[in-house]
């Protein structure tokens, strides 16, 4: 077990170094001089230029700049935003809870529907529920989610008027930012209707962001279930005359869950990529929208910091999933 | 989809020595499996239709995709009140014919898919072959580099690359190809490692085949099945990602009739003109769905091990 953990960490560190090099080089690869970019169209005097170059360390050799950059990351320093002049670290973590809240809701949504759908499809293999569910799943899997979002807005916001089009909560309500999770903060504020408003703002973005993971989870659950259902111990359980519910639910599902959990863990990257589109469409104030805006406004230190932090989050989640997988399934450890 | 295991393996194994005999049978065998999957055949038919539309866009489109009919702004489709048969699917905010733009848009989609898959597959297969054959530090280096690329969510990495290269369709395609390429490297390497230990490779080596011949003539043809499936899947991913970049304003630039870019233009009319929003997205969905159906069928027919059963 310890050897497995060490081996897994052994691949984490080179990847971390590589990711940090990529995000470090990002600003250096841009056409043009980063300091002139910061100055914008006004330009600047030579003295001011030299002063800024010294301040940001651009007069140092490249390897020493990189070293400072990594030391900065470890200490929670990602530089300051070109645009707002605030620390990128602070900006990132001010917006991160919004993305986390949305992603968690999307995961819950996709698991709550995807796993039962996969089980129903597997148990009815080849019959109409299977075909209907799997065709729907393939449509979901092929969905351009930015278009899906617009369709849902037309239907639920435009025609039915049930859900708001953008934001996290109505402007009527104001309360201090406690946990950063709107669902919790609105409850804690005790204002009537605040929680309901937060929920209504969450529904459409959750569906949009959860659609592709939902399709993937349903497909994965189905194939994992099919594999397990043909095992001897399931046949034995059936032969003993156990209730189908018990056979499918207890004997089969428990063992089918291992690959499904891996898929859920690995869909973090998909979620963060999907958050870029979902947040942009619904004006959801999270890191996805922030990244797009930073790219559009050429706020390159923010882009750099966001790139690094998002990759780091994906890597940590993958690491945790792999380790958990090794804990559940001893066969993996030997590889 | 149907269970035909245990039978498909023999023709693949024998391919090394009796290639001339086995080859024609292989395609027929593939087709007999593929044909059984009705969804896959339907996907193939729709995809071929798209290819035809893309090829003959100039003939099929009733208007130019960029001509602005100033008298017919935001005209609804023909079957709604206010629509005319001149503009079957209506017009957009500056009076361009939706149908003609959609027809021309299929060219971009097809073009994006082909170019991205060709770049990603050739470079990925090459790197995968090198990694699988050289082992040692070259292998480790290549695979670590791929791990780094895979640590970034694909769309995010593509976005950032476009930020470096500048927003355009070509740059978006390069970025998407780079993002998709690690999957080919991993698949090729895994397949090469599986094949290398087999006897036909050793015998080719003993007879004196050089490393290049071993790579491309002896081993590669036997690794193709998962790669073809991956090509189909990345074709659809490429279309989706390019449309997403276009939608964010970082892919094809207006007035290009690329479907994602068309959607970006339509956003402000979401609640006023449903047709401007609905049709481009529907075109993307149907195209991607057809390719994914085809990909599922290809996987079932080519690679019994990956069978979804």
Nearest to A142 among B247, B267, B292 (CB): B292
**If 0-12 CB within 10 Å is exposed, 13-18 middle and 19+ buried, where does residue B202 land?**
exposed
State residue B2's pLDDT score: 39
Regarding predicted confidence, which is higher, A44 or B100?
A: B100
Regarding predicted confidence, which is higher, B101 or A29?
A: B101
- Interface check for A259 against chain B (CB to CB < 8 A): the answer is no
CA distance A245 to A240: 13
* Residue B282: pLDDT over 90: yes
Contact A18 B144 (CB under 8 A): yes
Tell me the pLDDT tens digit for each residue of B65-94: 888 887 777 778 878 777 777 788 888 878
* Residue A126: pLDDT over 50: yes
State residue A333's pLDDT score: 65
- Interface check for A18 against chain B (CB to CB < 8 A): the answer is yes
- Interface check for B164 against chain A (CB to CB < 8 A): the answer is yes
**If 0-12 CB within 10 Å is exposed, 13-18 middle and 19+ buried, where does residue B14 land?**
middle
Identify from B47, B151, B238, B303 which residue to disrupt to test chain A contact, counting A C-beta atoms within 10 A and taking the largest count: B151
State residue A334's pLDDT score: 59
Distance (Å) from the C-alpha of residue B299 to the closest C-alpha of chain A? Answer: 14
Which ranges of chain A does DSSP label H, i.e. alpha helix? 2-29, 34-39, 46-56, 62-74, 88-123, 128-141, 145-152, 182-189, 194-229, 232-239, 244-246, 253-266, 268-282, 287-296, 300-328, 330-334
CA distance B229 to A14: 31
Q: Grade residue A214 by pLDDT with cuts at 50, 70 and 90.
A: very high
**Category of B219 on φ-ψ map: left (φ > 0), alpha (ψ -120 to 50) or beta:** alpha
State residue A149's pLDDT score: 92
State residue A236's pLDDT score: 83
Q: What is the pTM of this model?
A: 0.85
Q: Grade residue B4 by pLDDT with cuts at 50, 70 and 90.
A: very low
A11: which chain B residues are within 8 Å (Cβ-Cβ)? 144, 147
Contact A29 B260 (CB under 8 A): no
Tell me the pLDDT tens digit for each residue of A51-84: 777 777 777 777 888 888 888 888 888 888 877 8
% of chain A residues with pLDDT over 70? 94
DSSP 3-state of A179: coil
Measured in whole angstroms, how far is the alpha carbon of residue A274 from the centre of its chain? 7
End-to-end Cα, chain A, rounded Å: 12
* Residue B184: pLDDT over 50: yes
* Residue B248: pLDDT over 80: yes
Contact yes or no for A303/B156 (Cβ under 8 A):
no
State residue B24's pLDDT score: 58
State residue B185's pLDDT score: 94
Nearest to A154 among B155, B166, B271 (CB): B271
What single-letter DSSP state applies at residue B2? -
State residue B309's pLDDT score: 41
Regarding predicted confidence, which is higher, A59 or A104?
A: A104
% of chain A residues with pLDDT over 90? 28
* Residue B224: pLDDT over 70: yes
Query: Scanning every residue of chain A, which has its alpha carbon at the shortest distance from the alpha carbon of B153?
Result: A269
Contact yes or no for B90/B98 (Cβ under 8 A):
yes
Contact A147 B281 (CB under 8 A): yes
Identify from B102, B156, B284 which residue to disrupt to test chain A contact, counting A C-beta atoms within 10 A and taking the largest count: B156
Contact yes or no for B278/B194 (Cβ under 8 A):
no
Contact B248 A19 (CB under 8 A): no
The torsion angles phi and psi of A220, rounded to 5 degrees, stand at -65, -45
Instruction: Determine the longest span between alpha carbons in chain B, in angstroms.
Output: 77
CA distance B201 to B214: 7
Tell me the pLDDT tens digit for each residue of B149-182: 888 888 888 888 888 888 888 989 999 999 999 9
* Residue B11: pLDDT over 70: no
A14: which chain B residues are within 8 Å (Cβ-Cβ)? 144, 147
HEC per residue, B196-218: HCCHHHHHHHHHCCCHHHHHHHH
Range with the poorest average pLDDT among A34-43, B136-145, B203-212: A34-43
Identify from B40, B141, B163 which residue to disrupt to test chain A contact, counting A C-beta atoms within 10 A and taking the largest count: B163
CA distance A209 to A282: 11
Residues 203-222 on A with a CB inside 8 Å of B are 219
State residue A42's pLDDT score: 63
State residue A145's pLDDT score: 92
CA distance B29 to B177: 32
Distance (Å) from the C-alpha of residue B145 to the closest C-alpha of chain A? Answer: 7
- Interface check for A50 against chain B (CB to CB < 8 A): the answer is no
State residue A331's pLDDT score: 67
Residue written as token pair 């970082």: B250
Task: Give, in order, the Cα–Cα distances in Å from A75 to each of A21, A68, A79, A88.
Answer: 17, 10, 11, 13
A30: which chain B residues are within 8 Å (Cβ-Cβ)? 163-164
Q: Grade residue A190 by pLDDT with cuts at 50, 70 and 90.
A: confident
Tell me the pLDDT tens digit for each residue of B187-206: 999 889 888 888 888 888 88
Q: Which two tokens stand for residue A79?
A: 């530089």
Residues 200-239 on B with a CB inside 8 Å of A are 236
Question: Which is nearest to A100 in space by CA: A295, A320, A317?
Answer: A317
Contact yes or no for A279/A96 (Cβ under 8 A):
no
State residue A332's pLDDT score: 62
DSSP codes of every residue in A292-304 = HHHHHTT-HHHHH
State residue B154's pLDDT score: 85
Q: Which pairs with CB-CB distance under 8 Å and at least 24 residues apart come from A6-13?
A: A8/A319, A8/A322, A8/A323, A8/A326, A9/A319, A11/B144, A11/B147, A12/A315, A12/A319
Tell me the pLDDT tens digit for each residue of B36-59: 888 889 999 999 999 999 888 888
* Residue A274: pLDDT over 60: yes
DSSP 3-state of B308: coil
Q: Grade residue B14 by pLDDT with cuts at 50, 70 and 90.
A: very low
Give mean pLDDT, residues A270-290.
91
* Residue A183: pLDDT over 90: no
């Amino acid at each position: 077990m310890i050897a497995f953990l060490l081996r897994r960490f052994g691949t984490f560190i080179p990847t971390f170094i590589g990711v940090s090099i990529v995000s470090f080089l990002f600003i250096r690869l841009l056409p043009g001089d980063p300091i002139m970019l910061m100055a914008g169209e006004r330009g600047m005097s030579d003295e001011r230029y030299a002063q800024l170059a010294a301040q940001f360390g651009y007069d140092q050799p490249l390897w020493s700049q990189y070293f400072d950059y990594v030391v900065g990351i470890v200490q929670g320093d990602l530089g300051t935003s070109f645009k707002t002049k605030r620390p990128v670290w602070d900006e990132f973590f001010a917006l991160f809870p919004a993305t986390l809240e949305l992603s968690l809701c999307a995961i819950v949504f996709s698991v709550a529907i995807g796993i039962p759908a996969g089980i129903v499809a597997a148990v009815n293999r080849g019959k109409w529920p299977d075909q209907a569910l799997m065709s729907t799943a393939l449509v979901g899997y092929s969905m351009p989610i930015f278009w899906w979002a617009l369709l849902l807005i037309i239907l639920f916001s435009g025609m039915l008027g049930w859900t708001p089009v953008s934001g996290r909560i109505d402007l009527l309500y104001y309360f201090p930012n406690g946990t950063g999770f709107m669902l919790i903060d609105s409850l804690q504020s005790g204002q009537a209707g605040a929680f309901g408003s937060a929920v209504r703002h969450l529904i459409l973005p959750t569906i949009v962001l959860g659609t592709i993971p939902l399709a993937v989870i349903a497909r994965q659950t189905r194939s994992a279930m099919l594999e397990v259902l043909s095992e001897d111990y399931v046949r034995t359980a059936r032969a003993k005359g156990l209730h189908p519910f018990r056979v499918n639910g207890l004997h089969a599902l428990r063992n089918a869950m291992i690959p499904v959990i891996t898929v859920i863990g690995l869909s973090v990257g998909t979620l963060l990529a999907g958050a870029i589109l979902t947040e942009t469409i619904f004006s959801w104030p999270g890191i996805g929208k922030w990244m797009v805006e930073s790219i559009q406004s050429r706020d390159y230190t923010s882009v750099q910091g966001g790139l690094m932090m998002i990759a780091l989050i994906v890597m940590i989640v993958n690491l945790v999933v792999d380790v958990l997988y090794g804990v559940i399934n001893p066969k993996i450890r030997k590889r | 989809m149907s269970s035909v295991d245990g039978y498909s393996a023999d023709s693949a194994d024998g391919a090394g020595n009796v290639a001339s005999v086995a080859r024609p049978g292989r395609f027929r065998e593939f087709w007999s499996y593929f044909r059984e999957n009705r969804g896959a055949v339907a996907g193939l038919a729709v995809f071929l239709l798209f290819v035809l539309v893309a090829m003959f866009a100039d003939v099929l489109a009733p208007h130019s995709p960029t001509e602005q009919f100033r008298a017919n702004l935001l005209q609804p489709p023909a079957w709604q009140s206010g629509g005319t048969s001149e503009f079957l699917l209506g017009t957009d905010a500056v009076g361009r014919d939706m149908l003609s733009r959609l027809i021309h848009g299929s060219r971009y989609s097809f073009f994006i898919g082909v170019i991205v898959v060709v770049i990603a597959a050739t470079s990925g297969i090459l790197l995968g072959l090198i990694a699988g054959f050289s082992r040692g530090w070259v292998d480790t280096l290549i695979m670590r580099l791929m791990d780094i690329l895979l640590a970034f969510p694909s769309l995010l990495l593509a976005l950032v690359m476009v930020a470096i290269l500048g927003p355009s369709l070509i740059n978006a395609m390069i970025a998407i190809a780079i993002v998709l390429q690690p999957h080919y490297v991993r698949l090729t390497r895994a397949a090469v490692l599986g094949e290398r230990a087999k006897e036909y490779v050793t015998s080719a080596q003993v007879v004196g085949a050089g490393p290049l011949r071993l790579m491309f003539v002896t081993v590669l043809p036997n690794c193709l099945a998962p790669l073809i499936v991956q090509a189909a899947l990345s074709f659809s991913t490429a279309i989706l990602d390019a449309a997403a970049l276009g939608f964010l304003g970082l892919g094809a630039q207006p007035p290009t009739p690329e479907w994602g870019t068309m959607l970006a233009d339509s956003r402000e009319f979401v609640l006023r003109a449903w047709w401007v929003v609905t049709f481009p997205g529907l075109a993307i969905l149907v195209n991607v769905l057809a390719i994914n159906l085809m990909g599922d069928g290809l996987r079932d027919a080519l690679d019994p091990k990956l069978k979804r059963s």
